[in-house]
Amino acid sequence: MTLEEFNLLPDPNQYKVVFSQGTFVDSFIEDQERYILFAIDGFYVEIHFTGYSDDVVYIKAFRTSHLLNKYLPETID
pLDDT tens digits, 21-54:
999 999 988 888 899 999 999 999 999 998 777 7
- The pLDDT, as a whole number, for residue 68 is 86
Q: What is the DSSP letter of 22?
A: -
Rounded to whole angstroms, the Cα distance separating 60 from 45 reads: 6
Coil, strand or helix at 2 = coil
pTM to 2 decimal places: 0.85
Rounded to whole angstroms, the Cα distance separating 51 from 63 reads: 26
- The pLDDT, as a whole number, for residue 69 is 85
Under 8 Å CB-to-CB from 21, ≥6 apart: which residues? 1, 40, 41
Rounded to whole angstroms, the Cα distance separating 33 from 44 reads: 19
Phi, psi (degrees; rounded to nearest 5) at 5: -65, -40
